[in-house]
Amino acid sequence: MLNSKYRLRKNIAFVATFKLKNTVSNEFLTLYKGKDKSDFNAITKVGFIVSKKVHKRAVKRNKIKRRLREIYWVIYKNNQLKNLENAISLVFIAHGKILDLNYHQIKQAVMDLIDKF
Q: How confident is the model at residue 94 (pLDDT cuts 50, 70, 90)?
A: very high
Strand 89-94 vs strand 45-49: parallel, antiparallel, or unpaired? parallel
The residues facing 31 across adjacent strands are 24, 92
Please state the rounded mean pLDDT for residues 32-61: 90
- The predicted model scores a pTM of 0.90
Q: What is the mean pLDDT of residues 4-18?
A: 92
pLDDT tens digits, residue range 48-91?
999 999 999 999 999 999 999 999 999 988 888 777 777 889 99
Q: Decide yes or no: CATH 3.40.50.280 for domain 4-116.
A: no
Distances (CA, A) of 37 to 33, 72, 84, 94: 11, 19, 10, 25
Could you state, in order of their start, the residue ranges of all structural domains in the chain?
Answer: 4-116
Cα-only R_g, the chain: 13
The whole-number average pLDDT for the span 107-117 is 91
